[in-house]
Structure 1
Amino acid sequence: MRAFASDLDRTLIYSSKMMNQFGAEEFQLIETLEGKEISYISNKTKNLLQTVNKEMHFIPVTTRTIEQYRRITLFQNEIVPQYAVTSNGGHILRNGIVLQDWSDHIKRSLKECLPLEHFVRELQTLVQGNWIERIKDADHLFVYLIIKRDQVLEEEVNRLFNWAREQGWQPSLQGRKMYFIPAPVNKWKAVAYLKKELGLTYIHTAGDSLLDYDLIQNGDDGYAPVHGEVLETYPNLRRTKQSGMKASEEIIESILSQLASHST
């Protein structure tokens, strides 16, 4: 049995800012928040995903919290995956319900890292300047900062990231969000668990950020959209030729092409 385990934001779905940057033609609104339009998917990507979801396990793998994932109406009403990985691998949903065995495993693993409260406290003492707007807790597993991107220096980012890694935490900067995530909370580890539980024999993977590196690298067939930040650090990963929504379509078309070749 095959699966397609994919990141969502900036890999399969896009904000209006990303659409303006890379262009978009026919698309569908799939997420709103307090009346504001948040995320979109191209009509072609949606149709291709519907085919994927019928032919194999489609597993959304996202850094979004459970609540944020559930805001995406497409995956609640139209394409409804049996499994989804949220909170950067901190939770697995089966038919929308948290898989408690995995969540308990994560809690035990987190005892190896600097505790969340201590990490945030120390982080705040290290930050120089007033470039942080808010610090957000994500399912009590990790934190992300909403920042003034134009006011933070690259040297400051590198200093904080190096410190975080020394504490056993993974940092990532994505737009105006700066993530700090304990090492056990890892997308690929959650997918590897599902691989074993479901008896998956081949996994296609895709993602755009540094937090997706293990997912892309360890999958049997991994992709990074050419606009992805992960390629700045790992330029040898397989990349798409096209950017934005066209990259999403390119990835899924490649997967379905392989599936067709395998079945003939």
Structure 2
Amino acid sequence: MTNFENVNQQIVTVKSRADKALNSLKGILLGIISDDRIDAKEMKELGLWAKDHYDLIERNPFREFMLLIENTVSNEIPAKEAVEDLYWLCQKYEHDSIYYNGITSDLQLLQGIFHGILADGVLNDDEIFRLHAWLSENEHLNSYYPYDEIRSLVLSIVVDKKIEEEERTILTAFVKQFVELRNNEIAEKIERDTSDVNISGICAVDPEITFEGKTFCITGILSRGTRNELQEAIQNKGGISVNNISKKTDYLIIGDMNNACWSYSCYGRKVEKALDLRKSGHTIVLVHEFDIFDAV
């Protein structure tokens, strides 16, 4: 057998093992949630599953699975939420695996466009209108971060067919988040030009937060404190803290640290639901954890 054939066989073997591992994880998750109760022994079993399949960590989406499992206990993510996120991620990967490669390619292309239009340190009118045209031609990226956010922002800028300097600066501040310029002089110029602009992705920018009688839900991994600490602070301010998002939720707090679902190039389960609720007319506000911690 040639070396090439050996390599092919290894690839097939790894893929087969990955598929088997994914199916076994789905089965474990279904079994765990079948009685609507999740205990420490079940979470330990998930941890052992992760340990047994650690050699697959470089293969999508296993890094995301491992991170989510590892962070559940250390970051006080409720076990039920972690299991639901894992199962959601399994389904997302299974249903989108063929489509995902094309999506990933186009999202990488979008990032490259961001890089190109900032390469000279100036975001001119032609670049903005051409970016708008590209976004309009690629609506299949709808619901994938950061397509929704950049398209919404660009639409608001070009709707009157003229671009104000403040709009240009805001767009530059948003785009620079996804670009690592090698030219330090240009990078420093952009930093200076946008130093007064606060951009938080899908989260509300500098939101006014009312606590009394309002309902708050947390998603992701917090970097400034624990969930229990933040929930207690919210309650002390008169707010209501819940674990699941619904039509009654007023604020969804998004953790700053790496979220497994986000790194898979799609919204996390709760964020996706919040966006669906907003599209249906519900006034749920997505806020960054830093804004909440500053407010409490």
TM-score (norm 1): 0.29
Answer 1 or 2: which has greater helix percent.
2
Between Structure 1 and Structure 2, which shows a larger proportion of strand residues? 1
Query: Normalized against structure 2, the TM-score is what?
Result: 0.27
